[in-house]
Each structure stands twice: as C-alpha cells, then as structure tokens.
Structure 1
Amino acid sequence: MTRQRVALLSHVNYDAYRHDDGSPYFPPDEFDVTFLARPRDIAQLAPGQVSRSIPVDMHPSGELAVPLPPLVGDVEFDWVVATQERLLLPAARLREANGLGGMGTEHTLLLRDKVAMKNHFSASGIRVPEFMEISEPIQATDLLDKFGHIVIKPVLGSSSLDVRIIRDQNELMSFQRQGFASADRYEAEEFIAGRQFHIDSVVNNGVPVAASVSRYLDSHESFPLNGQVRSHTLDDGPDLELLLEFNRAVLGCITWFSGASHLEVFLDDRGRPVFCELGGRPGGAGIDTTFRYRHGVSLLWASILPQVGQAVPDSGTQARMDQPATGWSMIYPPELGRFRGFDTLPQAEWLLQLTAPYRPGELVRRPRQAKDAIAVASVCGRDSHEVVGRLAEVKSEIIVSITPE
C-alpha cells in the first residue's frame, strides 16, 4: 500500500497525536509524515515516529519567522495538516503553493481574520458586534462614544493576547500614547454586556455532528498571578437550547467546512445571542478532554480527518449518566521565578485531566495570554454546580514550588 505523504505543522509535541489507547493518529505503515515543529518538540521524537522533521522557528504567539514553502523545498506531499489557530493560514498557503486539496486561504481567512469573519457572518444574517478595523487606537473614538465600552484586539490574534477593554476616552488616549503591542492589524468592536460562552463542535459540511455548550466564569481581559480562567458545560434549559440553535445557524453559513469548530458567543443583557468569533480548529485548555468524555470523539482527531481526505467521526461512547457535566480551568502561577515542581497535586476519580506545561528549571513569566498557565485541569460532575466546586478543590490542592529571582 502506498503511504500518504503528510506535512504536519504543529506547535505541540508529536505524542499529542494519539488515540486514547496510545495508537498514533498517523500509523507509520499508512502515512509518511514530515513533522514541521519547534526544535524542542522535534527533540522529543522517538525513532521511527515520523519520516522526517523540519525545524520551524515559531514566535511564542505561534507566528512563523519564514514562509513554509522555502523550508520544505522539493519534499512532496499529498496533504497538509494543522490544528492550532496560528498555524491554519501557513498551512493553507503551503497547500496552495503545492497545488493540494483542502482549505485554501480564502476560506481559512473566514475562520481566522476577525474582520473578514464578521463581514461574512453578518452578511449571512448572524448578529455580530458593531466593529471597525483601525490602524491606531484614536480611530475608535466614535465607536467608544456610541457604546461607552469597546474592545480592541488583533485581527489575527488568539488566546486573548493583547486584547484591551476601553471604558472611557482617557483610557483610549492612554492606549493611543502607548501604541499597539505589535505590527498586527487591529479591530475595535462594541463591548457586549452579558455572559460569554464557547460552543465546541464536530462539523460535517456545516452541520454539527456533536456539540457542547460551556459558559466562561472568568474575564479574558487579564490573567493575574494566582488567578484562573474556568468554564463549565451548561445544564439542560432554555440557554442551552438557544445556543445550540445559534451554533447551527452559524455553522450553516460555512457549508464547505468539515472538522472541529470553536465558537465564542455572548448572551447579551437581554438574553440574545451575539457572535464573537469562530475558529476552525479544536478549542484549547481542557476542551478536547471534556468533549471526548462527553461525546466519545476527540476534537483533535475530528480536525485532522478532513485534512487527509476522510470523513469526520460520528459521536461515540457518551459520558456517564451520573456525571455528565464537565468543566476545565487554566490556573496561573502564584508568583514569578524559577519553576521547581509541585509539592502536592490533587487526585480524584472525577479528575479527567491535569497537565503542567512548565518543566523544572524553566522561568515562570507573567501571564500575557490565556494559555500561560501553570496547570490545566478538567473535571466531571453531576451538574454545573458540582463541577465548579470540584474545580475550586483542584486549585486549592495544587501547591507549586517557585524560587523567586
């Protein structure tokens, strides 16, 4: 059998691409994998895991230092796969440069570029915040006067990096003097007062095959030391049904899309859904773990399959009926310094995931974006109330050792 040649662009370790039983997503007898990743992830490859590896210089935000086509040279592929937010556009450009099938830049931009995205869904009848692209903060003056609160963020941003909430003209003028944090394009949009949710789905040609609706409990404006960002799935009720219907309407505007989606949405102060943004990839933090528990399907796997010419999976084994609710938390370091390890960690049968990104000896920096956590935990429970309590229990039992510098 001829092996399919896959370019896998990744900023996570290759071991992440495995089923629950440990078998690889890309069996070596079926796939000839070229792994394009950071040198530290390449260094952790085991012999025979991939056919070849190509180091890629990635900024901590995920941006690439150089375009991919010159890096891969004359290596030929059948498929290009990427499952992380910042790598979707580079993957699309590599497909086009090599004349390959799969999503190109036109469709990928509708799932990455916040201006193109809002224009597309608004034209399709989806309610979006009033917004505008800006080249400097002062250009948002009229928008701020109209709404009183606005949000300014990078057009191609992710993980809430460099997102600012502006509450008055003094804050806007201060931001104008400070300037943007990067040379990225920026947009300003009305601040939606209300509750924020994420809806994660396996999607087949614009139709959700399986979906989970979760509510955020914490602000994404800043990530303070000893703070956290949490979410929990919704219990049965009107909000759940309303948001599932909104998710179907949004995904129905992209009938060309199959894979995993991550929709951010608000319920405003009158209980009406408002589009925030849509990602054509799995959600981060503990979302894949909790979704797999509830639906028996990995969002990561569902994201990969259409990129190698295969259909998305149907829903599998469902969550335990006595503990169907789930939630996750990204827990931020209590202090800055040199990470030494954990003195204590929680253990419980309802703890679905506990991961620690830092390695002993690494410098703990002040969190700038949602993913800058010292630990990520996922739990299950009978309902949302029990899930929130268990997340608090997990946080209280994590004791970390950090040496100040």
Structure 2
Amino acid sequence: MGYGAYRHDDGSPFFHPDEFDITLLARPRDIAQLTPGQVSRCIPVDIDASAELELSLPALVGDFEFDWVVATQERLLLPAARLREAVGVAGLGTEHTLLLRDKVAMKRHFSAHGIRVPEFTEISEPIQAAELLDKFGQIVVKPVHGAGSADVHIVRDQNELIGLQRQGFGSPDRYEAEEFIAGRQFHIDSVVNNGVPVAVSVSQYLDSHETFPLNGQIRSHTLDDGPDLELLLAFNRAVLGCISWFSGAAHLEAFLDDRGRPVFCELGGRPGGAGIEAAFRYRHGISLLFSSVLPQVGRNVPDASDLARTDQPATGWSMIYPPTLGRFRGYNALPQADWLLQLTTPYRPGDPVGQPRRSTDAIAVAAVCGRDSREVVDRLAEVKSEIIVSIAPE
C-alpha cells in the first residue's frame, strides 16, 4: 500500500503538508511513486523484514525528533510500538501491541477474560503438536506473528505431522498449534473508540485460506440480517470490551463452530486487507484506514455516519489468483460496473508470475456491493469471469 492510499474520498490527504511534517519510511518502490511536496523526507526500508526492522528503526531515524509514530500495516505494528518507546513519544507500546499481534499472547489475554479460544500450545517444532493432534484429530499450525495466511498448515493425521516435521517450518518466527474449529469462518471489521465499536461490518469467508491455487480465489460477503449477524455482533463487542484502552480500526477473525457457538481466532489492531477498506467506506461512510491513523496522532476516531445504504447495503470482496505461471504480459479485459467499488490490478508487464504463497499474491482484488449476499456472490463471480490476462509461459 503506497502513500497515495492515505487520502479521503475527495482526494485530500490525511496528512496535509500545511499541518503535518511527515517523515515516510517505506519501500523504495513506494517512495518512487511520491510527487514533490507530499512528504518532507523519506527513509527507504525493507518492511518485509519486520523482525530486523524492530531493532534497526531507531538507528534509521537518527536524530530526527517526532511527535507521533503511525503504522497501519500488520507487520509494522510492533516495530512502530518499539520505535515509540525508543524515541519517547505517546501511543501504543509493546505490551498492548503484542495483544493485537502475537497469536499466543492474544489468546492468553482473551481467554483469561472469558472469551472462548481454540485450545493451543506454542511449539518450536511440528512434532511437539502430536499430543494436541491426538486429542482433536485435526489441528492448525501457524507462525505466531504470521500475516496474509502465509505458512499456515492444517494437519489431519500423524503422517501429515511427520511430513511437516521433515519439511520444517518456512519461517524463523515462533509457531503455535491449535485446535481446528469445524464450522464457518468470519471477519468482523470495526471502528473502535476505547474498546467500544462505533461502526461494524460482519462478513463470512467462502474459501479456504490454507492454499492459494492457480485460478482460485478467496472471497467474503457481509451477512444479511439474522441470528448469525446478531450473535457475531455481540461476540465482537465482548472481545473489544477486553481491550478498553484501544481506539482505531480492528479486524477480528472468528468462527461459528458446528454447534453455532462463536470462537475467537485472532484480532488485528489495524484495517483489514483485500477489499475491506473500500467496502467499509461504502457501507458506513467511514474509512478504516483513517480511523486507524487518528488515535495514533492523538485524535478521536470519527463518529458513526448516518449513511444508510438501503438500496444496495451488502458488500463483498475477492482476491483472484493467476490462472497460470510465467511472465505477465497484460490485462486483456477488465470488468466495469457501477456496483464495482474497487478493482486493483497490481501486476505490470514483465512481472514474473509465481505460485501464490500468501493470500495477498493476487492478480486482482475486487470489492462489490449488492442488494443482499446472494447478489454480491453473483457479482464477484461476474468480476472473476470478466478478468482476462495474458501470461507467457517460461
């Protein structure tokens, strides 16, 4: 996400140069997209190496003095918290940020406050999950600080666990194993004021996050009115009530198990990815991204909007994966419709197209609106069918 994303619907910047003196730490490719005058100074960083970044940020900023440190990307929340502590500015520190980032710390915290979480254990190698696998018959193994569903494994028997032991973990991160929750998975996106949600969207995932097959996709749609929606809204209020110190944007992943009971998966103190920002802005008239920024510069989140989308209140999004591997040549055809809220096409001619490794390795990201969830799902299918790309084999 480049700096150009930090804008209101009318195109005005979140951080107006007349009011803010911005030092931007970003990938070199994002810095190259800036226009003169957008920021005061730039520091190129490798944001993908977030563990190293936590240690190197204080040295990178040198003697610059700051009033605030702002981060909205999941892997940068902990580096930003440690930078605040290193330079002595206000805002969330490491202790609180860990509860929004570390999957072991957050489960311990919310479980202690009465929220149902999967049974879990921290592990340093896959075989240490054997007892948990025996107990539940199916488990999930994932990095403690993982993002984008990368290196997540569903283990269904001891042979698969032994295979994972031989393969080894794909990341130097700490790992956890947890009970597999049979049921449906949801994401609940909120603007939060001191632990109280002021605007909320509840969406159901339609596809697995375990793999990202060629020509596949990951989709979600907002829930229509009904008991599931009310149950998950109440669960979201209960979860957020356990972090009364938090204001900003929250992205809660949760399940309804096979008996219809809500179960915590994980919570991020940042805007959801994919098409969530565009869909949320359309439905609520509030930006999750802007709502994430405001508390980090000492200001309140926006009030809930009176906007009521009575004609097309439902929204959904999809991340669409390449149909084949090779060298990208171009988008030959793209959909156009007034109900298409977002269409992001990140590939450029000449880019290599490899096997997707994380959820964000998409050839297109779309967000749509509709009268109800059924129409949203139909429109997502229409979008996918109308995206035609050219990829040369290698």
- What TM-score results when the alignment is normalised by the length of structure 2? 0.98
Q: 1:30 aligns with which of 5, 19, 22?
A: 19
Which residue is equivalent to 1:241? 230
Unaligned ranges ≥5, structure 1: 1-11
Which residue is equivalent to 1:343? 332
Tell me which amino acid in the other structure corresponds to 2:176: E
Tell me which amino acid in the other structure corresponds to 1:197: F
Query: Residue 370 of structure 2 contacts residue 376 of structure 2 at CA under 8 Å; is this kept in 1?
Result: yes
Report the identity percentage: 79
Q: What SS class does the counterpart of residue 32 from structure 1 fall into? A: coil
Q: What SS class does the counterpart of residue 177 from structure 1 fall into? A: helix
Work out the CA distance in 2 between the residues paired with 1:58 and 1:64.
9
Q: 1:281 aligns with which of 262, 270, 274?
A: 270
Alignment of 1:251-400 (within 5 A): 251-316=240-305, 318-400=307-389
* Shift in Å, 1:316: 2.4
The alignment covers a number of residue pairs equal to: 393
Tell me which amino acid in the other structure corresponds to 2:326: G
Which residue is equivalent to 1:17? 6
Q: What SS class does the counterpart of residue 384 from structure 2 fall into? A: helix
* Shift in Å, 1:355: 0.5
Alignment of 1:122-271 (within 5 A): 122-271=111-260
- What TM-score results when the alignment is normalised by the length of structure 1? 0.96
Q: What SS class does the counterpart of residue 231 from structure 1 fall into? A: strand
Q: What SS class does the counterpart of residue 202 from structure 1 fall into? A: strand
Work out the CA distance in 2 between the residues paired with 1:254 and 1:308.
19
Work out the CA distance in 2 between the residues paired with 1:94 and 1:365.
35
Work out the CA distance in 2 between the residues paired with 1:320 and 1:377.
19
* Shift in Å, 1:318: 2.2
* Shift in Å, 1:317: 5.1
Work out the CA distance in 1 between the residues paired with 2:116 and 2:46.
38
Query: Residue 261 of structure 1 contacts residue 281 of structure 1 at CA under 8 Å; is this kept in 2?
Result: yes
Task: Label 1:363 to 1:64 Cα distance change in 2 as closer, same or farther (>3 A).
Answer: farther
Runs of 4+ off more than 6 Å: none
Tell me which amino acid in the other structure corresponds to 2:30: D
Tell me which amino acid in the other structure corresponds to 2:366: A
Q: What SS class does the counterpart of residue 22 from structure 2 fall into? A: strand
* Shift in Å, 1:320: 2.6
Work out the CA distance in 2 between the residues paired with 1:351 and 1:15.
20
Query: Residue 288 of structure 1 contacts residue 299 of structure 1 at CA under 8 Å; is this kept in 2?
Result: yes
Work out the CA distance in 2 between the residues paired with 1:31 and 1:44.
20
Q: What SS class does the counterpart of residue 382 from structure 2 fall into? A: helix
Q: 1:77 aligns with which of 66, 70, 74?
A: 66
Query: Residue 47 of structure 2 contacts residue 76 of structure 2 at CA under 8 Å; is this kept in 1?
Result: no
Work out the CA distance in 1 between the residues paired with 2:243 and 2:20.
29
Question: CA RMSD of the aligned region, Å?
Answer: 1.0
Work out the CA distance in 2 between the residues paired with 1:299 and 1:317.
16
Work out the CA distance in 2 between the residues paired with 1:22 and 1:294.
19
Which residue is equivalent to 1:8? none
Once the two structures are superposed, residues 188-212 of structure 1 have per-residue CA deviations (whole angstroms, 9 ceiling, x without a partner) of 0000000000000000000000000
Q: 1:94 aligns with which of 63, 83, 86?
A: 83
Q: What SS class does the counterpart of residue 224 from structure 2 fall into? A: coil
Work out the CA distance in 1 between the residues paired with 2:161 and 2:17.
54
Tell me which amino acid in the other structure corresponds to 1:224: P
* Shift in Å, 1:341: 1.3
Q: What SS class does the counterpart of residue 326 from structure 1 fall into? A: strand
Tell me which amino acid in the other structure corresponds to 1:116: A
* Shift in Å, 1:315: 2.1
* Shift in Å, 1:62: 5.4
Query: Residue 63 of structure 1 contacts residue 87 of structure 1 at CA under 8 Å; is this kept in 2?
Result: no
Work out the CA distance in 1 between the residues paired with 2:151 and 2:97.
22
Work out the CA distance in 1 between the residues paired with 2:37 and 2:230.
47
Q: What SS class does the counterpart of residue 352 from structure 1 fall into? A: strand
* Shift in Å, 1:339: 1.2
Query: Residue 193 of structure 1 contacts residue 269 of structure 1 at CA under 8 Å; is this kept in 2?
Result: yes
Q: What SS class does the counterpart of residue 300 from structure 2 fall into? A: coil
Tell me which amino acid in the other structure corresponds to 2:83: L
Q: Quick check: 337-346 or 298-307, which moved more?
A: 337-346
Query: Residue 253 of structure 2 contacts residue 266 of structure 2 at CA under 8 Å; is this kept in 1?
Result: yes
Task: Label 1:231 to 1:63 Cα distance change in 2 as closer, same or farther (>3 A).
Answer: farther
Q: What SS class does the counterpart of residue 146 from structure 1 fall into? A: helix
Once the two structures are superposed, residues 155-205 of structure 1 have per-residue CA deviations (whole angstroms, 9 ceiling, x without a partner) of 000110000000000000010111111211000000000000000000000
Once the two structures are superposed, residues 125-160 of structure 1 have per-residue CA deviations (whole angstroms, 9 ceiling, x without a partner) of 000000000000000001000000000000000110
Query: Residue 50 of structure 2 contacts residue 79 of structure 2 at CA under 8 Å; is this kept in 1?
Result: no
